[in-house]
Amino acid sequence: MAPHPTGTKRDRDRLRQEMTEAGCDLAQISMEMRTRFRLRPREAWRHAHGLTLQAAADRMNDLGGSRRGVEVAADASLIAKWEKWPASSGRKPSPRVLVMLAELYGCGVAQLLDYEDRTHLPPADRQLLEPRPASASPTPAPPPAPVLAPEPVGGALVEAAADESAVWAMWAESTNVGDLSCEQLAADVRALARAYVAADPPLRVFTAARRLRDKIFGLLEGHQHPRQTRELYVLAGYLCGLLAWISSDLDEPHQADTQGRVAWLCAELADHDGLRAWTLSTRSKVALWDGRMREAVTHARRGAAHRPPGTVGVLLACQEADVWARLGAIGEAQEALHHVEEARAAQRDPDDVGGLFSCDDFRRLNYTTGVAMRVGRAATARDDAAAALALPARRAYGTEAQMRITLASAHVALGHPDGALEALQPVLALAPEQRLAPVAARLREFAGDVARSPMAGSRETSHLQAAVEHWCLESAPRRIALPSGPLAGGGAD
């Protein structure tokens, strides 16, 4: 197999797993790493164990700390320099270091050195590391203790300490991501959040978000300034929130919950109230459509308690009102609607991301008209929904579909079957790839309302119920389970 000039972490992990499953030992894995990815021997042994630079440094420090007189102060930067030597950017490992690395990796010192290393080792170091001839005695003699370089004293000690501090400062000052890169990553996250509500194919957005999340996770495994680390955690959290939202729209609540928990972890690690609130809003949405109503209320209230900037406070109050209305708790729903207005009045600063992670007036009205319908104010729901739909603003079609279902339900409750059918036509005309799980659930609920209304039993009603059933059979989640074509999507609340 032709050697690859470089190897990503995923490439190395895959190779290590495949060779381990094939029964290869660490020496064979290390040699394949060297050959395939053109790694230096010490780096190849580290990757054969699946260790990061920092993990190797931590283990070496633990190994040295367990033995009096052989302590070391290794960090990720120093491990990297030992691996790169004899390149100009490297640092020569002492015999003591090589002996400890060999013990750490479970190999011989000779396996950590190639020909280039040997040609650059001082003769004294090579002599110390040369294996001793086997004893002629029938009883093997114990291996000689490694000869360790003496600790510096006097002025040399002061110089060594300064050198060690300088090496650490170089590591602390280094970063694997610049401010411009962070800015680009943030722009990419915002673009994906906008793309999802602009009817881009959901699996395309999902795939792109997953790829960008993995890129940011990979950066977080490296080293950057604390400010940049926090920013990366925030971006990773929003991406996991986006993945959670799409998973729920595709009727995968378990996977959505997993993404939501990881988003929350990122928010905690970043100590970011805005991300905390949006994560709890996402988790409230997932819980609602999975039938966990009380949990949905809890998440919404916890999110509002953070008093975050932007429009998420409005959305959280809307979500709480929606849940209470579904439970028939009219008083609690009305109180939550009051909190919606309070959140609007207290709104400050723009949203960090926008798109899916924003709550404009149309999205708010989708919730409030739905609540009005559920608490028995059908005329208010009809008038407000019709007025909102008449506005020429751009909006997510999933949200618009739910608004139209609310309008159709209001017409049924008010005894206007023609108005209901007219309102529902754009929803029934949605392509199968646009029929997300929340819209399907709302449409089934509408069909149930029709069956209990004075319209029940009419020819128009039978036709409508058959159309709804067919619509749901051709929904986006079913196309995910039985793929028959590309999926297009726009977020549904």
Q: For residue range 463-473, what is the model confidence (pLDDT) as tens digits?
A: 777 888 888 88
pLDDT tens for 44-100 read 999 999 999 888 888 888 777 665 545 567 888 889 988 999 988 888 888 888 888
* Least confident stretch, 116-130, 302-316, 414-428: 116-130
pLDDT band at 252 (very low <50, low <70, confident <90, very high): very high
- For residues 450-473, average pLDDT: 80
pLDDT band at 342 (very low <50, low <70, confident <90, very high): very high
- Measured distance CA(395)–CA(116) in Å, rounded: 64
C-alpha separations of 186 from 183, 235, 437 in Å: 5, 7, 29
| Percent with pLDDT over 70 in the chain | 89
C-alpha separations of 274 from 85, 196, 279 in Å: 45, 20, 9
**Is the pLDDT confidence value at 146 over 70?**
no
DSSP annotation string for 361-414: HHHHHHHHHHHHHHTT-HHHHHHHHHHHHHS-----HHHHHHHHHHHHHHHHHT
| Tokens read off for 438 | 């929340």
| Tokens read off for 230 | 């926090």
C-alpha separations of 70 from 64, 74, 96, 364 in Å: 5, 12, 8, 65
- For residues 408-417, average pLDDT: 89
Where is pLDDT greater, at 141 or 384?
A: 384
pLDDT band at 486 (very low <50, low <70, confident <90, very high): very low
- For residues 229-250, average pLDDT: 96
Range(s) for CATH 1.25.40.10 in the chain? 180-359
The average confidence (pLDDT) of the chain is: 86
C-alpha separations of 131 from 24, 97, 111, 135, 316 in Å: 26, 16, 12, 12, 70
- For residues 196-223, average pLDDT: 90
- The per-residue pLDDT for 143 is 55
Q: Phi and psi dihedrals of 423, rounded to 5?
A: -65, -35
DSSP annotation string for 441-458: HHHHHHHHHHHTSTTTTS
Residue 142 DSSP code: P
- For residues 438-467, average pLDDT: 83
Contacts of 83 (CB under 8 A, 6+ apart): 40, 42, 43, 46, 90
Q: What is the distance between the terminal CA atoms of the chain, rounded to a whole angstrom?
A: 51
- The per-residue pLDDT for 214 is 94
**Is the pLDDT confidence value at 172 over 80?**
no
Query: To 5 degrees, how large is the angle CA 461–CA 464–CA 467?
Result: 150
**Is the pLDDT confidence value at 127 over 90?**
no
**Is the pLDDT confidence value at 460 over 80?**
no
| Tokens read off for 53 | 């630079």
Helix axes 361-374, 378-390, angle to 10 degrees: 160
- For residues 13-23, average pLDDT: 88
CATH number of 180-359: 1.25.40.10
Contacts of 26 (CB under 8 A, 6+ apart): 45, 48, 49, 105, 106, 107
- The per-residue pLDDT for 2 is 42
For the purposes of burial, counting CB atoms within 10 Å of the CB of 66, is it exposed (0-12), middle (13-18) or buried (19 or more)? exposed
| Tokens read off for 372 | 């009005």
For the chain, the 3-state helix, strand and coil shares in percent, each to the nearest 5, are: 70, 0, 30
- Measured distance CA(88)–CA(99) in Å, rounded: 23
pLDDT band at 135 (very low <50, low <70, confident <90, very high): very low
**Is the pLDDT confidence value at 447 over 70?**
yes
| Percent with pLDDT over 90 in the chain | 47
pLDDT band at 482 (very low <50, low <70, confident <90, very high): low
| Tokens read off for 484 | 């028959």
Tell me whether the omega of the peptide bond preceding residue 131 falls within 30 degrees of 0, making it cis.
Answer: no
- The per-residue pLDDT for 484 is 44
* Least confident stretch, 162-171, 255-264, 350-359, 483-492: 483-492
Long-range pairs of 159-167 with CB within 8 A, sequence gap ≥ 24:
164/73, 167/75, 167/77, 167/78, 167/81, 167/91
Highest mean pLDDT among 87-101, 136-150, 237-251, 447-461: 237-251
Number of neighbours of residue 25 by Cβ within 10 angstroms: 11
- For residues 337-350, average pLDDT: 93
Supply the pTM of this predicted model. Answer: 0.69
pLDDT band at 433 (very low <50, low <70, confident <90, very high): confident
Give Cα 124 to chain centroid, integer Å. 51
pLDDT band at 483 (very low <50, low <70, confident <90, very high): very low
